[in-house]
Amino acid sequence: MSTIADNIAQVTSRIHAAVLAAHRDAHSVQLLAVSKTKPAEALREACAAGIRNFGENYLQEALSKQLELADLPLIWHFIGPTQSNKTRAIAEHFAWVHSVDRLKIAQRLSEQRPTDLPPLNICIQVNVSGEASKSGCTPADLPALAKAISELPRLTLRGLMAIPEPTEDRAAQDAAFAAVQSLQASLNLPLDTLSMGMSHDLESAIAMGATWVRVGTALFGARDYHQP
Ligand SMILES: *Cc1c(COP(=O)(O)O)cnc(C)c1O
């Protein structure tokens, strides 16, 4: 059985190889460790191996891990579906939200972001797979949404996030991630972030400009959603 530290080394070398192949700067891609369903001890182990940024999908689970790991210098990213009744806790307890897909949620996050914290970093989740995915704004709605979010005072719009339809076909992966990159370029806003690529498709995402890859399974093993 491989340890989390071994997995981190493997994923880091995959990222490094993809960055080199794309002729990109070595520091232009960051690893976001997606730790949903994993116990706090697994995050502690990853932190000991150098990971600082963690992505969580479920608010209550994330908050309880944050309490358990309060002694560690971790940076928390919310990457799950956002609902109005969760925005206050998200605004108070995270540095980033990757999954904003409507203005109402962004407005609440801005209003509820504590003034003693820096602005909340935001990525707009965009749906580039059409019917195949229900979350994310449509490419057609993106320009107006991005402009409106970029004007909210307590948020910093950093870029886009996408979860294309899973496929092992590299050409299809490349096409989906290229579409995200070109949507971002078309916005004409000062954006520096593309959150895209997971365990199975991070090479393609990096080739197409990803700056955060969000990796769960390849770091922590398969998830068991049926644990007590
Ligand atoms: C679970 C999840 C990931 C990680 O997926 P893996 O295939 O386990 O690497 C990345 N992004 C989001 C939004 C997720 O929900």
pLDDT digits (tens, 9 = 90+) for 140-186: 999 999 999 999 999 999 999 999 999 999 999 999 999 999 999 99
Dist. CA 194 → ligand 1 center (Å)? 15
Superfamily of domain 4-220: Alanine racemase (3.20.20.10)
Closest CA to 224 of 11, 69, 2, 39: 39
The C-alpha atoms of residue 38 and residue 150 are separated, in whole angstroms, by 33
**Minimum CA distance residue for ligand 1 atom 10:** 214
| pTM exceeding 0.75 | yes
**Minimum CA distance residue for ligand 1 atom 7:** 199
Dist. CA 215 → ligand 1 center (Å)? 6
CA-to-CA separations, 194 to 21, 30, 89, 117, 132, in angstroms, rounded: 18, 10, 24, 23, 21
121: three-class secondary structure by DSSP: strand
Ligand 1 site: residues with CB under 6 angstroms? 34, 36, 57, 79, 163, 198-199, 214-218
Dist. CA 57 → ligand 1 center (Å)? 9
Task: Write out the two tokens for 184.
Answer: 């971002």
pLDDT in tens, 36-81: 999 999 999 999 999 999 999 999 999 999 999 999 999 999 999 9
| Domain chopping of the chain, boundaries | 4-220
**What crossing angle do the helices spanning 40-48 and 59-68 adopt, rounded to 10°?**
60
pLDDT in tens, 24-38: 999 999 999 999 999
pLDDT in tens, 84-95: 999 999 999 999
